Amino acid sequence: MNFTSDNSYGAWPEILAAVADAGRGAAVSYGGDEITARLEARFGEIFERDVVVYPVISGTAANALALATLVPPHGAIICHAESHIAVDECGAPEFFSHGAKLVGLAGAGAKIVPEAVEASLAHFQKGFVHHAQPWAISITQASERGTVYRPEEVGALSALARRHGLKIHMDGARFANAIAHLKCTPADVTWRAGVDVLSFGATKGGAIAAEAVVFFNRDDVADFEYRRKKSGHLVSKMRFVSAQLEAYLAEGRWLRHAAETNGRAKALAEGLSRIEGAELAHPVEANEIFLHLPNRIVTRLREAGARFYDWTPPEAGRTLIRLVVAFATPEEDIARFLSVARG
């Protein structure tokens, strides 16, 4: 019963097959191959516009490369205080950007709102040389608490960003889960809502190690390619990474899998929420469940072999735990978890 992370499970058979196929014959290395060449057209269809796409092998690399490309060393990146870039990347955005400052905001469900951004701008004034210069807003879709920004929420942040000359980055490690929840087009919640760059995740959803940095405006690409090379993220046999992304996107698999996973998470959450003393901390919109559970149930689950994270220390007899349902989480594990929890 492993509910610790999406990354605890392997990869889709279709992705493994695509990788096995990708290596036939000689090809131009470092991304000059045909599979990589096809990617931009594929992403272009999905996002309904021309895009520039760079495959990389980790979400941290995608986020840090995207942000460092947008933001200079004296810039500030406004984000949620609990966001992955702020607390779970060991300072990667600071490293790649050579010291840009992350300004972490509070916000319900790990989402930020325009009012909080506006307030933070008072402390980092544009043009005042003593202050780190606000340069970008980074939002996480789905958020660190499994909630999802609606297009109009993204749009409100973008409108504010435009007024202040800020760029918008979206960390889409679980982008598929968000789209599956929103039932909007990928365009609606990204560039049509004002997003400039997207870290498009596939690893959590079922790839081996494949993410894509998607630029919606060619001008923003700037020196991205040098940054990617310089950070060791220009993979020599790139076709193996690109093939994963291609298989991930083929035949709508990415959304079908995400919808199914979301549904299983929602079902598990509903079952758990009916247990006495249990309380959902946030609506379950993607594939993560944040649940307050009585400590004795938490203990019982662990004793039964369930693995998951405590999200905050136990308090007042209960603990906030996080459960992640992955594409390959066995149905019987979910059933057994629920059964043990019910006691």
Residue 56 β-bridge partners: 211
**Structure tokens that stand for 133 in this block:** 């210069």
Does residue 36 bind a second copy (CB under 8 A)?
no
Does residue 183 bind a second copy (CB under 8 A)?
no
Does residue 61 bind a second copy (CB under 8 A)?
yes
Distance CA 196, CA 16 (A): 31
Does residue 331 bind a second copy (CB under 8 A)?
no
Comparing C-alpha atoms, which of 123, 182, 180, 134 is closest to residue 154? Answer: 182
Does residue 57 bind a second copy (CB under 8 A)?
yes
Shortest Å distance, C-beta 72 to a second copy: 6
- Per-residue binding string, a second copy, 16-35, x by CB under 8 A, is x--xx-xxxxxxxxx-----
Residue 309 β-bridge partners: 322
Shortest Å distance, C-beta 187 to a second copy: 27
Return the number of the residue (210 or 289) whose C-beta is nearest a second copy. Answer: 210
User: Where on the phi/psi map is residue 109: left (φ > 0), alpha (ψ -120 to 50), or beta?
Assistant: left
The C-alpha torsion from 136 through 141 and 146 to 148, rounded to 10°, is: 100
Does residue 2 bind a second copy (CB under 8 A)?
yes
Distance CA 243, CA 79 (A): 32
Distance CA 326, CA 176 (A): 12
Among 18, 69, 101, 144, binds a second copy (CB under 8 A): 101
Comparing C-alpha atoms, which of 78, 15, 89 is closest to residue 248? Answer: 15
Shortest Å distance, C-beta 207 to a second copy: 8
Binding-site size, a second copy (CB under 8 A)? 81
Q: Which residues contact 7 (CB under 8 A, 6 or more apart)?
A: 203, 204
Comparing C-alpha atoms, which of 60, 15, 16, 41 is closest to residue 245? Answer: 15
Does residue 304 bind a second copy (CB under 8 A)?
no
Return the number of the residue (102 or 265) whose C-beta is nearest a second copy. Answer: 102
Does residue 114 bind a second copy (CB under 8 A)?
no
- Per-residue binding string, a second copy, 211-240, x by CB under 8 A, is ------------x-xxxxxxxxxxxxx-xx
- Per-residue binding string, a second copy, 187-206, x by CB under 8 A, is ----------------xx--
Region of 8-16, 150-158, 275-283, 290-298 interacting with a second copy (CB under 8 A):
8-16
Does residue 77 bind a second copy (CB under 8 A)?
no
The greatest distance separating any two alpha carbons of the chain, rounded to the nearest whole angstrom, comes to 62
Contact 267, 329 (CB under 8 A): no
Helix, strand, or coil (residue 313): coil
Does residue 138 bind a second copy (CB under 8 A)?
no
Return the number of the residue (237 or 264) whose C-beta is nearest a second copy. Answer: 237
Shortest Å distance, C-beta 141 to a second copy: 18
Does residue 311 bind a second copy (CB under 8 A)?
no
Helix, strand, coil percentages in the chain from 3-state DSSP, rounded to 5: 45, 20, 40
